[in-house]
Chain A
């Protein structure tokens, strides 16, 4: 049984159609990223799966439960890290982990949790004294305090500086190695690429692409490009485009075309200055997918 199944999900807030018909399946043990710009409908979707919001139409099944029913057996098995939240500043890290762990049937010890998220030195510090990044790591720890089978992470690293983001990534990698199913949302391309087994790109309430980070948007099919600085005083005999001061060749048949290019270069005495052969980056794919929605 898949961990998450979504069929025809929609959600409207009055006039605003935040989610306009989503189908998704997340398998057990998978790290799945919902990638999309602000306002795409990520939080709406995730919070419906968590049971915090109700859908307008469609079906969702999470760990075999309908999350909207708010069953304790369901809440016992999922861990939630909300996009905007805070923890009681008056408590220490250890106290918060103990109290929030109190109601679960399985519990991870505070000591273990601070090791997983890298808060060892702060375990007896008041939460009010933690930095923003440390608080977010505490929230990650609170999300897994009940040793959940499924973890929701809504923009776990938004607002982090690059080094804090790297640290958070290694925390999430730790969670993956514990065998957890993880659904995370992000608007960072590289985060989806680094963390997830599969990605769905969401824009304007619709899934516009889905796949592994490598194959997203049919990227394995889309052509690589060869380009080099435009040489002076020679004509170019093969199909090409001119981008600025560069000649660009779309490689639909790479072996033959590259042979043609280098053969011509040798004959004409062209250096092929600054030659590069590249595939479109995931970033390019993402921007292309989300720009016109």
Chain B
């Protein structure tokens, strides 16, 4: 019997990662339900009124912004935190001892979280259309899709990087929370950034890829445009971040817990 091929293995790994996700209620809640709750909250607070500085309605602004937040969260947090906890539990070490190629294991995580991200985005946009009547345009959907793919690939790579540099699962949780949430505010995902916002906000936000993800994705849902709304500059910037994060993540990745935090202490108390 020969070893199974790459495609069936990747499919199996993807299914396995998705299964674990959906059987971890807290992860499923924060990825799929929590962003929707934000949409309902913002919808109740601001309704379908117009943001004067931007000339679009609040819901037309918030729905794609929250979709971007969901997609980033689904990839960045789930890969970063999930992988670091698997290392804590010795699961990564077990995997490394099997003939499963490392890249297929990580590939399964990336594909699964991209599919989950797609689900959360479709859910968000669907609720936006059905409940708040936001506008979508067939003309810009290719740009929205490509932006989604580049953005999630970028944040999946950043998740891998977080997993690589976090000594423990708890550290990974702290790192993702301390980066994604503040960046989401800075990048105008929760509060629209207008000309009257302080300039430093934009300066800082524009270093990181989240504001580009937002800008490129939101461009596809801006009323009154006529083109395909591809934002190549933002896509290129995200791709650059993604590639650098991926290379560093692979380089620094560890399959075993560092000795100082757990193993050595355990060995000592045993003897």
Contacts and interface: CB of A to CB of B under 8 A. Distances in A.
Interface string A222-237: 0000000000000000
Interface stretch (B18-26, B37-45, B52-60, B183-191): B18-26
A270 to B, nearest CB: 48
Contacts of A106: 1
Max chain A CB contacts within 10 Å: which of B4, B19, B20, B97?
A: B97
B20 A85 contact: no
Interface of A: 13, 37-39, 50-52, 70, 72-73, 75-76, 78, 80, 82, 84-88, 90-91, 95, 99-100, 102-107, 142, 146
B99 interface: yes
Interface in B254-270: 256, 259, 263, 266-267, 270
A38 B267 contact: yes
A230 B154 CA distance: 85
Contact of A52 (B16, B93, B259): B93
Interface in B131-149: none
B99 A104 contact: yes
B267 to A, nearest CB: 7
Interface residues of B, number: 32
B91 interface: yes
Contact of B97 (A51, A84, A90): A51
A30 B150 CA distance: 54
Nearest to B255: A52
A75 B97 contact: yes
A37 B99 contact: no
Given A38-B267, A85-B93, A86-B90, A91 B99 contact: no
Contact of A88 (B3, B20, B100, B104): B20
Contact of B99 (A84, A95, A146): A146
A72 B1 contact: no
